[in-house]
Structure 1
């Protein structure tokens, strides 16, 4: 995997949590193992085709697609690259609670932002945006500005960038064709059924045999199909789902570490803590007490 992520900016020094990566490129098959973010994430695809997995559904993505992931939403992407092909995208992630106050003077924009942040959305992908659309020009324009490092105007520049970005997204959110319908290939349907079953059962002890009986497919076929289609195995996906819920509980409840361990379907606290640290880079206790954005 050869990824150029050198154009990412983190503004934690401004006591906020934003990241912007312009035209990051990958020249080999690139799998983002299932993960989530505490904040919002937008991906704009410049080049390359593939699909995104959001909430147990699989959607096509391609050039001039805008993909949005809500906070704590488990997701993954896969791209198809022929020899010499490139996957290029710009990525914007942010902590919504820190941007929300800046939208007070703009009631309609504030309401739209809140919908993206808190509401259950019927679609999170917009496809077939126009060539040379404002997003491309906006990202290109603000890229050098936001790369100035510790500039005292940086916070203001990013705020202006984000308000302009959000205003355009609002203007096309209902006017453009959304990719409402997931891919309907038979294999994709089985993958969605597997993920839906895990969603309903991840709080219990997992046995592949139970899933096999539910779908009337052999254990070997299920394991092979899931790995080939998602780039990860069922166990890794299950752990990601459990860790996502654990992150949410650590941030939004007063449950003990042991109680959270049990709530996500695990009985061994030591194993839970080990997997949690592998997944987040922090122990559950540090995660609960330290502010972080990307998981």
Structure 2
């Protein structure tokens, strides 16, 4: 079947996978959010300055920008499910489904290790099975079933982290609240003409402190975050709207000049917008480039 949309929309994906990619562990960073579930084996997982001795049923959420990776002595016994995704993927959900803020654990906790109870572990593994069952199917109905399973997993994380988030928000210093406020503002107004002076006025701190605080908290600059936000939105539009023109996408996401948009898009994505759109709507297209699953899993 010729896919009209790139149904496999996760940045990286492994389900119930044993062994190491490229045969070795590695510590890395990336701009996507990540969910990691440990099925079994022996693994010490590095998360920033921490090293976590994992037990089967452990789950980790990560904002991606913190260095992370496994330290494994017996790779063949190291079994996990992992996938990373662009945080703006939640825009694929109806607005009413976003009102509960399904990405709140990633924003508030940033990087967090859950040691799940037996009941929570059973529920989590069932959710992961559902995601794997529907992920990548070239059928719009199955694609939407995947989205609902993925959304359900985000709600599961929201419930698991609720008490921890409440405690953290009570004790966190105000500095991160400035960054959260700014990110929310950018996410709502990225398609408009935004100047740094306007952002400074919105959060009510000095320009110097805002730029410094944003870099320390997110690992990127305000300008780079804004461009990343616009490019991610452009990717979604190009993936999900087959008839939309690249020029229209350029202006809809907030760029003023098509040449600037195309140059930045290629730098960050690796393809021009035209090539990305063509690849997204070709048979298999982007999905075949992205999916790395265990040969035994359903896809």
Q: Under TM normalisation by the shorter chain, which class is it?
A: 0.5 to 0.7
Cα contact 2:214–2:222 (8 A) shared by 1:
yes
What is the Cα deviation at residue 91 of structure 1?
5.6
* Correspondence for 1:186: 174
Residues 35 and 67 of structure 1: is their aligned pair in 2 closer, same or farther, counting only changes over 3 Å? closer
Query: Is the partner of 1:250 in helix, strand or coil?
Result: helix
Confirm or deny that 1:177 pairs with 2:165: no
| Alpha carbons of structure 1 residues 240 and 94: separation in structure 2 relative to 1, 3 Å | closer
Structure 2, gaps ≥5 residues long: 1-6, 39-43, 72-79, 107-111, 126-148, 280-284, 292-299
RMSD: 4.6
Q: 2-side partners of 1:130 and 1:31: how far apart?
A: 25
Displacement of 1:257 in angstroms is 1.1
Task: Name which of 64, 67, 74 aligns with 2:61.
Answer: 67
Give the conservation status (yes or no) of the 8 Å contact 1:261–1:268.
Answer: yes
Residue 115 of structure 2 corresponds to 129
Residue in 1 aligned with 2:37?
A: 44
Counterpart for residue 275 of structure 1: 264
Deviation at 1:199, TM superposition (A): 1.0
In structure 2, the residue corresponding to 1:128 is in which secondary structure? strand
Residue-pair matches, total: 204
Q: Name whichever structure is richer in strand by fraction.
A: 1
Counterpart selection for 2:70 from 77, 83, 88: 88
Does the 8 A contact of 2:214 with 2:220 survive in 1? yes
Q: Measure how far apart 1:44 and its partner are.
A: 3.5
The superposition leaves residues 15-61 of structure 1 with CA deviations (integer Å, 9 ceiling, x where unpaired) of x967327567455xx542x347xxxx63237523459xxxxxxxxx9
Q: Output the CA distance in 2 between the equivalents of 1:255 and 1:246.
A: 11
Structural mapping, 1:1-295, within 5 Å: 19-20=13-14, 25-26=25-26, 30-32=28-30, 34-35=31-32, 42-44=35-37, 47-49=45-47, 64-67=58-61, 76-79=64-67, 87-88=69-70, 92-93=82-83, 118=93, 119-120=97-98, 121=102, 127-130=113-116, 173=156, 177-179=160-162, 181=165, 184-253=172-241, 254-290=243-279, 291-293=285-287, 294=290
- Does structure 1 conserve the Cα–Cα contact (< 8 Å) formed by 2:35 and 2:84? no
Aligned residues of 1:129 and 1:176 also touching (Cα < 8 A): no
Q: TM-score normalised to the size of structure 2? A: 0.53
More helix by percentage: 2
